[in-house]
Amino acid sequence: MKVFVGDDWAEAHHDVHLMGETGEKLAAKRLPEGLDGIAGLHALIAEHTTDPTEVIVGIETERGLWVQALIAAEYQVYAINPLSVSRYRDRHNVAGAKSDPGDAKLLADLVRTDRHNHRPVAGDTDQADGLKVLARAHQNLIWDRTRHTNRLRNDLREFFPAALFAFESLADRDTIAVLTKAPHPDQARRLSIAQIRSALRKGGRQRNLDRRASEIQQALRTPQLDAPPAVTTAFAATTKALVEVIAGLNTSIAELETELAAHFDEHPDADIYLSLPGLGVVLGARVLAEFGDDPDRYDTAKSRRNYAGTSPLTIASGKKHAVLARHVRNRRLYDAIDQWAFCAITTSPGCRQFYDHRRTTGDLHHQALRALGNRLVGYLHGCLRTRSTYNEHTAWAHRQPAPTQTAA
């Protein structure tokens, strides 16, 4: 007998609903998060079946210790997208009522009737799971740094625009070194070339010190409108704080990148990923982490492309027909593939030719990159299926003109 379990989780508890094959209620209970809760769930299930492979669980997440415990118990676990749950709720409840126990029942019914339309939680290796933790943490820190540099840029625009002429990148080591020494415009204007050179050397620069110091001094002394002294002093304090945060993020990003590279190098699929044009260690690790390494997760290249969000979405009804980009997608994976495609056009003649062709047919830059990313995901899928590395000639041979034959 199959038992269908709906698990509506919250931070401190889980509402579970057990349902039979014909939709009858077997049990319902609120369980605490943690060891006691998972033991309670196992006990509830054991009252109705002793075969764990007959238990199908629906839950709105694929991560966490609770999900890992469900998988370890050999239950079939389906991670249901919350948007799908919302749509399913609307099908059966037009009044708009919602509750945690109600959602648990809904999840149980969903995996009972519609699980063929959803994917079970991937059976990724521990290596891939660890790589995902590192890759996502690394990307989160980069996003955090971007937010802080944007705040710094806004502040400098308000009270010290000359600094924006001096430094192209506000996260660069030269920027950090000089603004740490002189966050106030008056301090910065008084810096000598020797002082700037010393700061640059302390920040890690080793070449072109005199030339760069002279460029920075000239830019910092550019005439500008000044804010009132009290406002300038306040902005200088916030600048110093932001620079310290960015410097700390730079250090953490570099340390995580080293750890990420080490973990990626140990993965058996690393050589395949690195063989593809445009994929280095960091991008390759991010793509592998988001796709996972379960060999049975993607049956076809199309399913892998759909998950990546690179394949076009067709909307056809009556006389209307539209081909659009997918907006419901794995944001991290799509971002990595977009960067991958951009890097590939500078390293692969075939990718460059494909991109240029798409542009000549009317695609905008990002549309052409998305089409190239879609093609590269297909190549990746083929390489992983055949356990072979990428071959430029084989990949693009179908786009090469046939050799002309001369008459004898």
Q: With 70 as the cut, is the pLDDT of residue 399 above it?
A: no
- Residues 273 and 383: beta-carbon distance below 8 Å: no
Question: What tokens does 51 get?
Answer: 């075969």
Mean of the per-residue pLDDT values of the chain: 92
Backbone angles phi, psi at 333, to 5 degrees: -65, -45
- β-pairing, 13-19 vs 25-32, is antiparallel
For the chain, give the percent of residues with pLDDT over 90.
80
Identify the weakest region by mean pLDDT among 21-25, 73-77, 116-120, 276-280: 116-120
Residue 226 to residue 245: CA distance in whole angstroms: 26
pLDDT at 342: 97
Q: Residues 310-365: pLDDT tens digits?
A: 987 776 667 776 666 766 678 899 999 999 999 999 999 999 999 999 999 999 99
Q: Around Cβ 38, how many Cβ atoms within 10 Å?
A: 20
Domain extent listing, the chain? 3-117, 130-262, 270-396
Least confident span in 66-70, 105-109, 281-285, 328-332: 328-332
Task: Tell me what pLDDT residue 408 has.
Answer: 43
CATH 3.40.50.300 is held by the domain 3-117 = no
Q: At what angle do helices 331-344 and 349-360 cross, to 10 degrees?
A: 100
Structure tokens belonging to residue 56: 């199908």
**What's the pLDDT at 312?**
79
- Residue 9 · residue 59 · CB < 8 Å: yes
pLDDT at 45 over 60: yes
